[in-house]
Amino acid sequence: MRDDWSNYGDVFTRRWVVEAILDLAGYNIDADLGGRVLIEPSIGLGAFLVPAVERLLDSAELFGRAPESLGQAIRGYDLLSDSVAQSRIGVERVLIAKGVVASTAKRLSLEWLSVEDFLLADQIPAADFIVGNPPYIRLEDIPGDVADAYRSRWRTMRGRADIYIGFYERGLGLLKPSGRLGFICADRWMKNQYGSDLRAFVADQFAIEHVWVMHDVDAFEVKVSAYPAITVLSKGRQRGAVVANTSGEFGDDSARQLAGWALRGGGSEVEGHGFTAHRMDTWFKGSGMWPSGTPSLIALVENLNERFPPLSDSVKVGIGVATGADHTYVVKGANVEDDRLLPLSMVGDLHSSGRFDWNGYHLVNPWTTNGDLVDLLDYPLLKQYLEASETLRGRHVAKKNPAQWFRTIDKIDASLKGKPKLLIQDMRSKINPVLERGGYYPHHNLYFMTSDVWDLEVLGGILIGRIGQGFVEAYGVRMRGGTLRFQSQYLKKIRLPRFEDIDPDTCSRLRAAFRSRDIDEATLASAVAYDIDPIRFKLLSEGVVASAGERQRDTSGS
């Protein structure tokens, strides 16, 4: 057991969530479970084990298997000896309640459950089912020797990965042909950079069967901000996949209804209390971000991906300056030389109406126009001001290079100040590009777009239309309450028509729609720019099917 971890990532799963995962994975009593192997890689206090054991015993009775013969049917692992001990007690209680004699119950609990690190243990059998709730821990938050061992064994654990990435890789690698892995886990790996190798690994050898996004669902025994999803994958050929989006109202009854519909087949969409779901004909290939949304939105995004270049081909996307000490560098007034005060655009300067209204903040700027730090001897007021700060010299960036103790984390690109920019706030439910015509430098809470090709108001018209929003919804990370991350990596996924191919009348319509914030008109004008039938474009970008024949609907549940 490791006793030098400060956080073991323990988040305990509600019973109804466990039952749904077991159903989706096919761990049902009519499957002769006694002749198969289930692995729980992070058992905690037995949230998955107890329901699994109950199903195993019912199946054994149905298929005439004696409890004594079930020693190979389950394997569970955990780092914490206390957790394993508590789980053994729970398992023994279930066995005895089902009529298993105490000595056999004790033997089975000892045989089934082990104090071991799932990511490092050598003797783990191949499995028909792997289910659980992997721990949520960043690699940098665990002892260095353990992190190094994980990285050396599991190639998909790259960058600032969470260790659940390794649980996916090892679990999938243990599956027998047609075996299934069912986890409730953070879904960030489907869209962010550190998940790219895992996405490629999955796409190459496995099939996505179910993805239930459950960010606002009360899925755990305690409140956590884990952005979870139920994901079920199988070792086999990719066929159709069921994708569900849920709200905070989703619970036990809803899960049973959704699971029943998903497993029963028939109908391409279903709605129920707190959820909508649809069937996809296939899944995505390669390591790129996996888009999500309705079939109509995904079809639209894929169509535009094939026909148009990415936004980054003609538009520069960046993020504003990070200082490392905003309380010192971001001011409304400071006793420094005038040319050391750089007008700074902040989130509060942007309005939903599209107006930019500067609130008077400046950046105390230690950089020359050439990108070098100033000589403080040439700026006595700046020198006095910075030396009065109690925190600047203690920052990591200052300790790394003591001679540059007064630098901001990011350098200042002096040419950016004078350029017109579309400014975009990171966290919002809807995209809200605001035109700043030049004269200000963006703060790090803002992303910016500049272009030598585009009229930024025409570009802004395309962005506020539902296609820009749709791309971010398809590829971006959605937080609790529906908030989206409008980060550079997602904004760059937007596909754009070539500016020179857009006729003057359409440009005028997009420009006017941007100024008036007319989303409907921006959407229809964008349809012309993308050479898509306007009515169909509007319906698709709203996630509504243009013709009833394109979608079968099933609201009956199970």
Residue numbers in the chain where pLDDT is lower than 70: 1-11, 221-226, 295, 478-482, 534-558
| pLDDT of the residue at 545 | 33
Q: How far apart are CA 14 and CA 217, in angstroms?
A: 11
Q: What is the pLDDT of residues 456-497, one digit of tens each?
A: 999 999 999 988 888 888 887 766 666 777 888 889 999 999
3-class DSSP string for 215-267: CCCCCECCCCCCCEEEEEEECCCCCCEEEEEECCCCCHHHHHHHHHHHHHCCC
Do the Cβ atoms of 222 and 249 come closer than 8 Å? no
In Å, how far are 58, 74, 91 from 30, measured between CA atoms?
9, 17, 21
Q: How far apart are CA 49 and CA 52, in angstroms?
A: 5
Q: How far apart are CA 163 and CA 476, in angstroms?
A: 22
| pLDDT of the residue at 4 | 47
Q: Is 316-541 the same fold as 15-290?
A: no
| pLDDT of the residue at 320 | 97
Element (H, E) at 313: none
Separation of CA 182 from chain center: 18
Three-state SS for 99? coil
Q: What is the pLDDT of residues 231-255, one digit of tens each?
A: 999 999 998 899 998 888 999 999 9
Do the Cβ atoms of 505 and 494 come closer than 8 Å? no
Q: Which residue, 202, 232, 60, is CA-closest to 129? A: 232
The C-alpha angle 75, 76, 77, rounded to 5 degrees, equals 130
| pLDDT of the residue at 538 | 56
* Single pTM value for the model: 0.77
Strand partners, 333: none
Architecture of domain 15-290: 3-Layer(aba) Sandwich (3.40)
Q: Which residue, 444, 415, 222, 142, is CA-closest to 322? A: 444
The CATH classification of domain 316-541, taken from the options 3.90.220, 1.10.10, 1.10.3470, 3.40.50: 3.90.220
Domain boundaries, the chain: 15-290, 316-541
In Å, how far are 128, 201, 237 from 234, measured between CA atoms?
10, 13, 8
Ramachandran angles phi, psi of 376, nearest 5°: -60, -20
Tokens for 108, please give them: 């089975």
Radius of gyration for the chain, computed over Cα atoms and rounded to the nearest angstrom: 28
Tell the burial category of 462 from Cβ atoms under 10 Å away from its Cβ (0-12, 13-18, 19+): buried
